[in-house]
Amino acid sequence: MTTENAPASMYRTTEGLGVWEHKGKVAAVGIGHSPTTRRWDGTAENTMGANSIFALRQAIADAGVDPADIDGLVLDPVTTTGAHWPPGQEIPMDVVNHWNSTDDPLDGIAKLSAEWILKNMPELTNVKFTMYGQGCMSHAIVVAAQAVGEGRTHTCLVLKSWHNLEGRYNQSGVSAQDEVPGSFALAPGRTLWGAPGSYGTALQFAEYCRKYGKSHDMMAPFMANSRRNGLLFPEGYWAQHRPEQLTAEDYLNARWIAKPANLFDNDIPIMVSGAYLFTTAERAKDMKQKPVYILNHASSRGAQRSVLPTLDEVEKETAETGRKIYEGAGITAADLSFENMYDGFALFHQFHIEGLRYRGMQNGDALDFYQKDISIEGPDPVLPSGGNIGSGRSRFWMHTDSIQQIQGRAGARALTGVKPEIGVSGGPMPMGGNFTVWSATPD
Amino acid sequence: MPLPTKKFETARFQSRYEERLTRLAILISFDIDGTLEVGDPPGVLTMELVRKTQEAGILVGSCSDRPISGQRAIWEQHGIAYDFAVSKHQLPDVKERFEAEAYYHIGDREDLDRQYALAAGFEFFWPDEAVSEPWLK
């Protein structure tokens, strides 16, 4: 079975499409996560592939589904943004051969195919639909949601995995080559010789502060809130390994990576896998967990005129994304109980939520909003998952949290200032990402 | 000449040691991750070495990318009376705050430890060099 990238027709990228034709007919039920680690330890038992299998089995068990009933698998085959396998570095064949390998020995170590998963999960005997949603869990989710809606699969696993290797991020593999193709070196964070990954966001944030009279210091409450929520997320890296609160003093004294983006505005790369089980609303009724219905998915494919998007371009795109999200779900900003938009880099979260007009905010309002009560106990929760800042680079904590909040399974992180009925999550970038509206009810 | 008694020897040593401390105050800044045994990854320098260094009258503290509150927590957890805990780029502030005749930073990274240290006017040791406590020689 050949696995293809999802066709463009599966994404809802423009305004004017009306309410999603499958609104409320697709549901998330099961959730699974692997343990987190900072880096791969070189053992077969702790490869990214092993983590993937662990997370998938957790999701299946969580949903209470017979693996033989699963007929779909959507995943992201790319498992890093900066931990590239160095060309010429020996591949440990004992690790490769520990598993049922594919033609690519790095499959399951530094990349991931649907074929590798199916070869190593013999219990998945009836998977007939596989597809890639490249980039992150946000991407895979909208592909899976659309696939279930269209009837391509009725019980579908959705997977996102991350590997992390020894050494520094973005300083090995293709990032360390003397020559790279095309415009590769121009994008933030891609090579040794280029700028840090957060520099584009930093430039937009600097312009944002200038335009609206704000300051980087005003981010401190958001950062403390995110880490606090992350420490209440037992699946996350900080909660599992270094349960330290991030104080305003810590944040304000951190060194600059790309001023005004400091060390803690950048998320920490980790090893982790996350998986969900999606199904039809009908089938979900008989499963073990409460269904969380998908009201809409929407995608952003913003075009920039130059090397980096300007603040104006970002604000235009996020506002359009907000309108697409609401239009397809048939809701308004007032219907949102909470938001879980992406934050890895912390300095662009405000672009996402201003685009949403969350709690009525307009452009330039978010940093003032952060000075108020944005906790999970308050009426205006911001990023209850804690996001990547709270739990490490997975790009899926916000989705897990959205599902758990609505299922009533968020534990110590449970929202108490609002009843979690409708939430939105997604990302990654303000100029390009994929977003999902989750609901306690199908309509 | 009578041989010095043990008591006399100890007093003479103490006197020399105190004189040395007065004249030659030493400050040592420790990186954490990859340097100290409590780091992630663990380094070769034990907390016992730091405690011994501190008890010898040397000013000790940490300079790390870890949150400052987290650095303090590590020292307190190990009962070490640290003199400072700062972020990586704040070695110049340490030098301004503490008067010493010798400033050392110990770390495991060329870019974030050695270069920062030298730029701030600190001498630098890699962790494996520091194991032998060269500042006591």
pLDDT digits (tens, 9 = 90+) for B94-128: 999 999 999 999 999 999 999 999 999 999 999 99
B40/A38 touch (CB, cutoff 8 Å), yes or no? yes
Architecture category of domain A16-164+270-284 in CATH: 3-Layer(aba) Sandwich (3.40)
Which residues in chain B have their CB less than 8 angstroms from residue A170's CB? none
Distance CA A48, CA A120 (A): 13
Confidence band (pLDDT; 50, 70, 90) for A177?
confident
Query: Does the pLDDT of residue B12 top 50, yes or no?
Result: no
Confidence of residue B7 (pLDDT cuts 50, 70, 90): very low
Coil vs helix vs strand at A298: strand
How far is Cα A47 from Cα A41, in angstroms, rounded to an integer?
8
Q: How is residue A48 written in tokens?
A: 């990214």
Q: Which residues of B touch A (CB under 8 A)?
A: 40, 65-70, 73, 86-90
Nearby residues of A119 by Cβ (< 8 Å), 6 or more positions away: A99, A100, A101, A102
Task: ipTM value, please give it.
Answer: 0.89
Quick one: tokens of B68?
């400052």
Q: Tell which wins on pLDDT, A8 or B16.
A: A8
Average pLDDT over residues A87-105: 96
- Does residue B5 have a pLDDT over 50? no
CATH class (in words) of the domain with range A197-263+292-443 = alpha beta
Q: Which helix (H) or strand (E) holds A434?
A: strand A432-439
The pLDDT, as a whole number, for residue B42 is 95
Q: Give me the amino acid identity at A248.
A: A
Quick one: pLDDT band at residue B13, thresholds 50, 70, 90? very low
How many C-beta atoms lie closer than 10 Å to residue A181's C-beta?
A: 8
Could you check whether A16-164+270-284 and A197-263+292-443 share the same CATH topology? yes
Encoded tokens for A80: 């890093």
Answer with the residue of higher pLDDT: B16 or A376: A376
> Residue A9 is inside which H or E element, if any?
none
For residue A315, the distance in angstroms to the closest alpha carbon of chain B comes to 32
Residues of chain B with pLDDT > 70, as a percent, come to 82
A205-219, A392-406, A424-438, B14-28: which range is least confident on average? B14-28
- Cβ-Cβ pairs closer than 8 A, A with B, add up to 36
Structure-block tokens of residue A123: 């219990």
The tokens of A32 are what? Answer: 């699974």
Write the pLDDT tens digit of every residue in A41-74. 999 999 999 999 999 999 999 999 999 999 999 9
Which one of A238, A250, A262, A265 would you mutate to disrupt binding with B, by most B Cβ within 10 Å of its Cβ?
Answer: A250
Q: How confident is the model at residue A276 (pLDDT cuts 50, 70, 90)?
A: very high
Q: What is the mean pLDDT of residues A284-310?
A: 96
Q: Report which secondary-structure segment, H or E, holds A204.
A: helix A199-212
Q: Where are the domains of chain A?
A: 16-164+270-284, 197-263+292-443
What gap in Å lies between CA A173 and CA A442, rounded to an integer? 46
Burial of A411 by CB count in 10 Å (0-12 exposed, 13-18 middle, 19+ buried)?
Answer: exposed
Give the model's pLDDT for residue A172. Answer: 79
What's the pLDDT at B17?
46
**Chain B nearest CA to A247, separation (Å):** 7
Q: Take residue B101 and report the two structure tokens written for it.
A: 């005749």
- B-contacting residues in A 25-54 (Cβ below 8 Å): 38
Q: Give DSSP secondary structure letters for A130-184.
A: EEE--SSHHHHHHHHHHHHHHTS-SEEEEEEEE---SS-TTSSGGGG-S--STTG
pLDDT in tens, A228-254: 999 999 999 999 999 999 999 999 999
Cα gap A170→A182, rounded to integer Å: 17
Q: Which of A348, A331, A408, A409 is nearest to A383 (CA)?
A: A348
Give pLDDT, residue B24. 64
A421 by Cβ neighbours in 10 Å (0-12 / 13-18 / 19+) ranks as middle
CB A64 within 8 A of CB A312: no
Distance from CA of B3 to the nearest CA of A (A): 57
Least CB–CB distance from A254: residue in B40, B73, B87: B87
Please indicate whether, in this complex, the C-beta atoms of A255 and B89 are within 8 angstroms of each other: yes
CA B128 vs CA A81, B46, B120, B134: distances in Å? 33, 11, 22, 11
Searching chain B, which residue's CA lies closest to the CA of residue A242?
A: B70
Sort out which chain B residues have CB atoms less than 8 A from A241's CB and list them.
Answer: 40
The residues near A409 (Cβ < 8 Å, ≥ 6 apart) are A289
Residues of B in contact with A242 (CB under 8 A): 40, 70
Kindly report the nearest CA distance between residue A254 and chain B, in angstroms.
6
> What's the CA gap between B61 and B106, in Å, rounded?
11
Q: Which H or E run contains A257?
A: strand A256-258
Q: What is the mean pLDDT of residues A120-135?
A: 97
Q: Which residue has the higher pLDDT, B40 or A262?
A: A262
Average pLDDT estimate for A311-330: 98
Distance CA B125, CA A348 (A): 39
Cα A187–chain centre separation: 20
CA separation, residue A291 to residues A27, A179, A349, A440 (Å): 6, 49, 28, 7
Residues 6+ apart with CB under 8 A from A303: none
Which comes out higher in pLDDT, residue A168 or A230?
A: A230
Residue of A nearest to B38 (CA): A242
- Is there a contact between B69 and A256 if contact means CB atoms under 8 Å apart? no
Of A128-132, A288-292, B54-58, which gets the smallest average pLDDT?
B54-58
What is the distance in angstroms between the Cα of A217 and the nearest Cα belonging to chain B? 16
State whether A241 and B69 contact (CB < 8 Å): no
pLDDT score at A400: 99
Q: How many Å apart are CA B48 and CA B46, to the nearest integer? A: 5
Taking CA atoms, A106 is separated from A35, A197, A313, in Å, by 21, 25, 38
Least confident of A121-125, A176-180, A262-266: A176-180
